[in-house]
């Protein structure tokens, strides 16, 4: 089994994430992308295995109009700074995936500029799809060419040209040699020539057998692209839609049908593919702006982590931030974010996603088990994931009322790994699930079969037993300082909560004591100042 079969992937759109200028003016290099290094503890806390970076190479505007495949965009940094970023991620056990924008280039791509300057005398006329001198282009060139999807600032490459393919393979070789990347996501993969995919697979797997190849596919039979000759995985747009619409429409039959069709135990058509699952990305509205009720968010993420395939998080969505396409612009989907600001957002959702990452890491059946639906109604879904002798049950209640599942589990006790609550079963269980709640249930047998590798520090938590001091100052591991106001107790659950005030802006926050005194990756989350 390869690393990507068990991976959790974090997706960053670099130019937006860094707040880079909208257009590349060719000016000075600014090392904006270095801030990724400060996010590494955050990524580790979520059990992230790989960061997928959107376009990072020199371009005119948004990164998908590449001008140089071997030069980091000056708005983000330079090759040396990006090499350092990759090194730091690798040192933290986090792999690097780059966006391969190989279907089209920008109008300032040197070989295209050569045609603009030399006309038919250029040696690159066959580098671009359907380029001819029978009439002008919509951009005023004395020749016509094919633009991707009608966008003439995106000049479509001719991937049947050996020189073009050599150029792109040479770039990939550079990425592997210089940045030690671990995989490529292919933009607009449905438009790319199959022979090119076969060649690039042979090249990449020849250099690194565990190199991951994933393609952006929106429609069609995924087996056409994801197969032993071409790609390892593709984007699961079918279930992307089903994940949110099954909740908005209160219709779990929709997503259950798609999962069974793809990967069900009765012969799913994609059983041999680990599809790339997501709930939002740089091209579609943020999940928090798509759902009818924010209470659906934890359930949707539970389902994404528990369904067959590779779960991914789009930067910032772990905190439930919103973002929509507006007036034809994607800018709202690609904001500049700072972790200190994010911690003031939906921390409950974030903690839920951290727990999902812990469960995903701990239980092989959750990652790779076969999906089998146990019970379903419009607003309730119970399914199991089975791998060998390990079985995990996942219960979802979308309703605004409690619901009881009655089922045989063959275990004396089931424990919800998201809350730690245990339920007596005696082989058959009557499980009451509160409104808008999801559970991941394991038996003592499943516990004993959990991965034996050491759990991340956040799983063990290792709370600091040193008494908390009211009025004292504590520094968060990301740098901000806070004054501890009080240790309170939740009136409904009895859970101890730490109340603390930001020294910087005076805002008051509450966090479970166990989390306040616990670990974030390898470091203490809050440290008392002397």
CATH label of the domain that carries residue 147: 3.90.400.10
Residue with tokens 């419009």: 378
Number of domains in the chain: 4
Residue with tokens 């240790």: 487
112 and 257 assigned to the same domain = no
Residue 295: what pLDDT?
97
Domain boundary among the residues 334, 364, 394 is at: 364
Contact 81, 31 (CB under 8 A): yes
Whether the predicted pLDDT of 271 surpasses 90: yes
b (16+ CB within 10 A) / e for 311-333: bbbbbbbbbbbbbeeeeeebebb
Residue (of 127, 136, 133) closest to 168 by Cα position: 127
Domain boundary among the residues 308, 336, 364 is at: 364
Contact 458, 358 (CB under 8 A): yes
Residue with tokens 């090392």: 31
Largest CA-CA distance found in the chain, in angstroms, rounded: 82
154 and 164 assigned to the same domain = no
Distance CA 192, CA 211 (A): 19
Q: Which two tokens stand for residue 36?
A: 């990724």
- 422 CB-near residues (< 8 Å, 6+ apart): 413, 414, 415, 416
347 and 486 assigned to the same domain = no
The fraction of the chain above a pLDDT of 70, given in percent, is 95
Residue 142 DSSP one-character state: S
Q: Indicate the pLDDT class of residue 452, thresholds 50, 70 and 90.
A: very low
289 and 169 assigned to the same domain = yes
Residue 2: how many other CB atoms lie within 10 Å: 12
Residue 462: what pLDDT?
57
Contact 327, 321 (CB under 8 A): no
240 and 219 assigned to the same domain = yes
pTM of the model: 0.86
143 and 213 assigned to the same domain = no
Tell me whether residue 200 is in a domain.
yes
- 452 CB-near residues (< 8 Å, 6+ apart): none
Element at 483 (helix H, strand E): strand 481-489
Whether the predicted pLDDT of 416 surpasses 60: yes
436 and 476 assigned to the same domain = no
Residue 502: what pLDDT?
82
Distance CA 313, CA 301 (A): 9
Whether the predicted pLDDT of 24 surpasses 60: yes
Q: Mind listing the pLDDT tens digit for each residue in 215-240? A: 999 999 999 999 999 999 999 999 99
Residue 126: what pLDDT?
98
The whole domain housing 380 covers 368-448
- 493 CB-near residues (< 8 Å, 6+ apart): none
Tell me whether residue 9 is in a domain.
yes
Give the SS3 label for residue 82: helix
Contact 484, 468 (CB under 8 A): yes
Report the DSSP beta bridge partners of residue 510: 499
Residue 467 DSSP one-character state: P
């Amino acid at each position: 089994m390869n690393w990507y079969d068990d991976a959790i992937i974090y997706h960053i759109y670099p130019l937006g994430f860094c707040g880079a200028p909208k257009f590349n003016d060719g000016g000075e290099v600014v090392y904006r992308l270095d801030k990724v290094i400060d996010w590494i503890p955050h990524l580790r806390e979520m059990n992230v295995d790989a960061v997928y970076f959107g376009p990072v190479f020199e371009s005119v505007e948004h990164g998908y109009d590449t001008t140089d495949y071997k030069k980091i965009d000056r708005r983000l940094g330079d090759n040396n700074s990006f090499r350092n970023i990759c090194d730091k991620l690798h040192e933290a056990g986090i792999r690097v995936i780059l966006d391969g924008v190989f279907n089209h280039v920008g109008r300032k791509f040197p070989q295209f500029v050569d045609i603009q300057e030399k006309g038919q005398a250029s040696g690159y006329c066959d580098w671009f799809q359907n380029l001819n001198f029978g009439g002008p282009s919509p951009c005023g060139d004395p020749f016509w060419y094919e633009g991707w999807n009608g966008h003439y600032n995106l000049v479509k490459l001719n991937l049947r040209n050996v020189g073009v393919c050599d150029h792109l393979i040479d770039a990939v070789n550079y990425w592997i040699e210089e940045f030690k990347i671990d995989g490529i996501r292919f933009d607009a993969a449905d438009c790319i020539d199959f022979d090119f995919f076969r060649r690039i697979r042979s090249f990449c797997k020849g250099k690194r057998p565990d190199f991951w190849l994933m393609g952006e596919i929106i429609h069609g039979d995924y087996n056409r692209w994801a197969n032993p000759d071409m790609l390892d995985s593709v984007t699961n747009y079918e279930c992307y839609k089903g994940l949110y619409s099954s909740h908005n429409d209160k219709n779990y039959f929709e997503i259950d049908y798609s999962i069974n069709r793809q990967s069900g135990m009765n012969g799913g058509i994609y059983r041999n593919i680990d599809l790339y699952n997501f709930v939002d990305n740089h091209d579609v509205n943020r999940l928090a702006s798509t759902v009818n009720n924010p209470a659906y968010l934890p359930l949707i993420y539970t389902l994404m982590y528990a369904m067959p395939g590779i779960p991914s998080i789009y930067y910032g969505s772990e905190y439930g931030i919103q973002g929509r396409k507006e007036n034809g612009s994607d800018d709202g989907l690609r904001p500049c974010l700072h972790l200190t600001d994010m911690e003031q957002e939906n921390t409950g959702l974030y903690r839920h996603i951290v727990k999902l990452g812990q469960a995903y890491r701990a239980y092989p059946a959750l990652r790779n088990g076969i999906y089998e639906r146990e019970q379903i109604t419009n607003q309730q879904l119970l399914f199991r994931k089975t791998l060998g002798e390990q079985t995990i049950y996942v219960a979802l209640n979308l309703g605004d009322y409690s619901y009881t599942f009655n089922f045989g589990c063959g275990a004396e006790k089931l424990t919800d790994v998201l809350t730690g609550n245990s339920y007596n079963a005696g082989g058959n269980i009557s499980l009451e699930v509160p409104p808008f709640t999801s559970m991941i249930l394991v038996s003592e047998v499943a516990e004993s079969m959990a991965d034996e590798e050491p759990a991340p520090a956040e799983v063990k938590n290792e709370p600091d037993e040193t008494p908390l001091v009211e009025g004292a100052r504590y520094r968060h591991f990301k740098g901000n300082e806070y004054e501890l106001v009080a240790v309170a107790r939740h009136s409904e659950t009895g859970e101890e909560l730490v109340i603390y005030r930001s020294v910087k802006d005076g805002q008051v926050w509450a966090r479970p004591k166990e989390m306040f005194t616990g670990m974030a990756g390898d470091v203490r989350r809050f440290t008392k100042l002397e």
